[in-house]
A and B are shown apart, each in its own frame.
Chain A
Amino acid sequence: MSELEARLSELAVEWPEAPDVAARVRAELEARPRRRLWPRIAIPVAVLALVAAVPPARSTVLDWLGFDGVRIERVPKAPTPVPSVTPLQLGERAPLASATLVPSELGPPDAVYRADDIVTLLYRPRAGLPESENTGAGALLSVIPGETNPEFIRKLAGPDTTIGRVTVDGEPGFWLAGAPHGLIYTHPSGDIREAPSRLSGNTLVWRRGAKTLRLEADITKERALQIARSVP
């Protein structure tokens, strides 16, 4: 740094007094929430590149980013698929509870799993439900409790994944298609966890009341929406 640069850096100047806008910013944000239609499953499809890794530390900023619902971010490269020998890690086998949401288009599932309060219905491949290259299943329907546990799911979507907005029974959702994308979620304890064994292919994510539902199957968007609308 030259002497002149040092003098400039040390030059003390009188700035106009900076107003305190924090309270006004807050009032404005409380008065006009961004989009009434998208309060829980959120919104932003990030355009910035993100390394396909779990952020190492929770920062202040990450804390306020951590609203519940779903976040989808573009990554330069989707996470590498794990070997198919890895089990799906859907959690423990569980009985089919009477309160479980079962889509009438698919009928009773072949198996039910529970992990971290996420209930997943597994359907084996069959006519109309081709075996998924990524999961080996015909379809997986996960129910994520969005209200009791303020957790969020984050999909890491690569450049080959197309993302579209959809509506299911008047509630917002996303259709992700094309290439596998990873899955990261925040456990109610606050830990950020990665579901390492599953790289979803075509996926429909939508909100249903206080819950977030996710259907993974190698089917068309129309068929996925049909199944989603048959959830009671």
Chain B
Amino acid sequence: MVGRPRHLDDYEQLVREHQVIAFRTAYVITGSAADAEEVVQDAFVKAYRARGRFREGAPFRPWLLAIVANEARNRRRSLARRARFELHPVEERPSADAAPSPEAALLVREQRAQLLAAIDTLGEEQRQAVACRYLLGLSEQETASVLGCRPGTVKSRLSRALANLEGEL
């Protein structure tokens, strides 16, 4: 088949560019790193095989994430035990020259931990919406396709989540 190796080279490059966001998206939905890993691998294989349905000129990421999320939801449905994704604040590694005072660093850490704890009190739908939109930085449209709902639903879930977080904090 003429050209095949080159196309797979190109695709391998696309996989490398998008695998981190794909994995984190899958993790938000499955709640398990091991499941997310399998989901991402399967999703990339499926995306390649479905490339004929990709609209040329459109951005690749939303299309890919929709496939990843679909795989992840199927995986989640088939599991007896449904895990919730867990997130921890990043450990501060202060740089030598601009290190904040110990008090300031402690305050930042506490605020982060508090915010994460507040996110954990949200129901699963709101928690996933917050993770996609803010922690992963997906667009509203991408969040909608990942969560399998309309953009309007994302908007309302997010505004309820924000209200709940305000109350919690």
Contacts and interface: CB of A to CB of B under 8 A. Distances in A.
A20 B16 contact: yes
Contacts of B60: 60-61
Interface string B106-134: 00000110011000000000000010001
B11 A64 contact: yes
Contacts of B23: 16, 18-19
B3 A47 contact: no
B136 to A, nearest CB: 9
Nearest to B15: A22
Nearest to A28: B45
B158 to A, nearest CB: 9
B97 interface: no
- Majority SS at the chain B contact face: helix
Contacts of B45: 25, 28-29
A45 interface: yes
B57 A14 contact: no
Chain B, interface residues (CB within 8 Å), range = 35 or more
B77 interface: no
A209 to B, nearest CB: 13
Contacts of B135: 8, 11, 13
Contacts of B96: none
Contacts of A66: 3, 7
B19 interface: yes
Contacts of A147: 2
A13 B162 contact: no
Given A8-B115, A22-B19, A23-B12, 20 more contacts: A2-B162, A5-B134, A7-B115, A13-B89, A13-B90, A16-B27, A16-B33, A21-B37, A22-B12, A25-B12, A25-B48, A28-B45, A43-B52, A44-B50, A44-B52, A46-B52, A60-B13, A61-B14, A61-B51, A65-B52
Interface of A: 2, 4-5, 7-9, 11-26, 28-30, 34, 39-40, 42-50, 55-57, 59-68, 71, 146-147, 150
